């Protein structure tokens, strides 16, 4: 069991997920060590060694997340998302520290028509996805005690995401074209943080998928946001192929979250509920 004396280290602790997670930990009586750039660069071996030193458990939220940018900055994406994660695993294995690592739906190609379970074969179609998958594999190969939590379509107050980008575009444009062939589950970083805090109690090992309950297209999600905020803007459906972008996106990002649900004390909420709360706070 995690106790108040266990030093919890959050890498990437000032990012969108990390900041919500730090807050959730404090609400539960944990005082996490929040580490992030510039004082903690996980690609710097010395910084990583210092981060691991004295830790009771480590949560790695640090990542290179610019999906399109990764196509031209592949070396940096791999350094952050793969090599650093492997090094973290090796250090954790030597110190016998449990690591929770956050991964992504982008490790799948999105060509299937069913929700993905943890045993489905990954097949990333972008540099970002490939770098994240390699990070998962290097962490597993390190032999450390670890849990990999794959999340998707995340949004939160402390970062760029689909919700904030859509709202910015809605203010500037009268018509929004949004893809209706990408399907997944909008997932609030506050909800991810709550799930992580529950996992800290028993420190399970293995792979888990977490996302808001239910599925929706990006277009339907945009319509929901526009309706909730009563924005005077038209939302028009289109296809992913209508947009030229450096990186390919998985069309099916649906997760089956049955495995993690069995470890959680409450049912995962329907995606609309946290999103409505988030929009009200904005």
What DSSP letter does each residue of 18-60 carry, written as one string? HHHHHHHHHHTT---EEE-TTT--TTSHHHHHHHHTT-SEEEE
pLDDT value of position 193:
98
Q: What is the pLDDT of residue 21?
A: 98
pLDDT of residue 217: 98
Output the CA–CA distances (angstroms, integers) from residue 161 to 75, 83, 117, 262, in the order listed.
Answer: 24, 25, 25, 29
DSSP 203: -
**Each residue's pLDDT tens digit, 134-188:** 999 999 999 999 999 999 999 999 989 999 999 999 999 989 999 999 999 999 9
Mean pLDDT, residues 113-117 taken together: 96
Statement: residue 258 has pLDDT above 90: yes
Q: Is 128 a catalytic residue?
A: yes
For residue 208, pLDDT beyond 60: yes
**Per-residue confidence (pLDDT) for residue 282, from 0 to 100:** 83
For residue 234, give every residue at least 6 positions away whose Cβ sits within 8 Å of its Cβ, in sequence order, or none: 174, 175, 176
**CA atoms of 211 and 257, how far apart (whole Å):** 7
Query: In sequence order, what are the beta bridge partners of 113?
Result: none
Q: Tens digit of pLDDT for each residue in 28-41?
A: 999 999 999 999 99
Residue 1 has pLDDT above 50, yes or no: no
Percentage with pLDDT > 90 across the chain: 96
Confidence of residue 2 (pLDDT cuts 50, 70, 90): very low
pLDDT of residue 75: 98
Structure token digits, residue 120: 């489905």
Q: Residue 141: how many CB atoms within 10 A of its CB?
A: 12
User: Which is the catalytic residue, given 78, 116, 128, 155?
Assistant: 128
Confidence of residue 23 (pLDDT cuts 50, 70, 90): very high
* Peptide bond before residue 38 is cis, with ω within 30 degrees of 0: yes
Determine the angle formed by the axes of helices 272-281 and 218-228, rounding to 10 degrees: 40
Domains and CATH numbers, the chain: 8-161+186-214+255-271 (3.40.50.720)
Mean pLDDT over residues 109-121, rounded? 97
Q: What is the mean pLDDT of residues 123-142?
A: 98
Residues 45-49 have a mean pLDDT of: 97
Give the chain's length: 282
CB 215 within 8 A of CB 270: no
- pLDDT of 14 > 80? The answer is yes
Q: Tell me the pLDDT band of 4, cut-offs 50, 70 and 90.
A: very low
Please give the Cα distance from 207 to 268 (Å, whole number): 17
**What's the token pair of residue 32?**
């996490």
**Residue (of 88, 134, 89, 146) closest to 107 by Cα position:** 134
């Amino acid at each position: 069991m995690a106790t108040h004396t266990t030093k919890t280290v959050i890498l990437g602790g000032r990012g969108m997920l990390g900041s919500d997670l730090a807050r959730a930990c404090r609400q539960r009586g944990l005082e996490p060590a929040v580490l992030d750039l510039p004082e903690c660069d996980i690609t710097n071996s010395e910084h990583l060694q210092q981060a691991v030193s004295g830790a009771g458990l480590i949560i790695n939220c640090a990542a290179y997340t610019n999906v399109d940018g990764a196509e031209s900055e592949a070396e940096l994406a791999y350094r952050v998302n793969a090599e650093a994660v492997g090094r973290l695993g090796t250090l954790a294995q030597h110190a016998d520290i449990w690591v929770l690592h956050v991964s992504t739906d982008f490790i799948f190609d999105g060509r299937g028509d069913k929700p993905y379970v943890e045993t489905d074969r990954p097949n990333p179609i972008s540099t970002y996805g490939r770098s994240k998958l390699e990070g998962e594999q290097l962490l597993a190969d390190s032999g450390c005690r670890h849990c990999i939590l794959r999340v998707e379509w995340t949004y939160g107050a402390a970062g760029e995401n689909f919700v904030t980008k859509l709202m910015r575009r809605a203010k500037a444009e009268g018509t929004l074209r949004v893809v209706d062939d990408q399907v997944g589950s909008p997932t609030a970083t506050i909800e991810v943080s709550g799930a992580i805090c529950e996992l800290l109690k028993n420190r399970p090992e293995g792979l888990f998928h977490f996302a808001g309950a239910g599925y929706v297209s990006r277009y339907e999600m945009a319509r929901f946001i526009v309706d909730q905020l009563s924005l005077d803007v038209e939302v028009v459906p289109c296809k992913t192929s209508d947009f030229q972008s450096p990186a390919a996106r998985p069309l099916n990002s649906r997760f089956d979250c049955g495995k993690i649900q069995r470890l959680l004390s409450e049912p995962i909420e329907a995606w609309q509920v946290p999103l409505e709360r988030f929009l009200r706070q904005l």
